[in-house]
Amino acid sequence: MKLSAPPIRSRTTVSPFGNAPTTSPGYTNPNKQKVIAATGARSSSRHTQTIYHLRCAHCGHDYGCNGLDIKSRLCPQCQSGAPGEPLRERAPSLFE
């Protein structure tokens, strides 16, 4: 019996970049910057990106970072990284 092609997996997240593991909560980049959660807020520096809540494992600093930059992010406080984007709670308003 011949093996058939593997079934097409349905994606659980919708992203133009596929299921990038760097945006998964719990991911830690090589600079020890850990993804805490997706905030859903729109990035001000990259219009197609949303902001993720990152935390530095060295100093505990919390800041926002767009999804594309997570993998090479440096802590703005102790690693001379670029200033973090503001962390905002997901707005309860219907009119964003």
Could you tell me which of 82, 71, 76 has the C-alpha nearest to residue 31?
Answer: 71
35 part of the interface to Zn ion, by CB under 5 A: no
Residue number, 34 or 42, with CB nearest to Zn ion = 34
58 part of the interface to Zn ion, by CB under 5 A: yes
59 part of the interface to Zn ion, by CB under 5 A: yes
Tell me the C-alpha distance between 25 and 33, whole Å.
Answer: 11
Tokens of 6: 């593997």
Q: How far is the CB of 71 from Zn ion (least distance, A)?
A: 17
Return the residues of window 67-96 that contact Zn ion according to CB under 5 A: 75, 77-78
- Residue type at position 62: D
| Number of CB atoms found within 10 A of residue 70's CB | 22
Interface residues with Zn ion (CB under 5 A)? 56, 58-59, 61, 75, 77-78
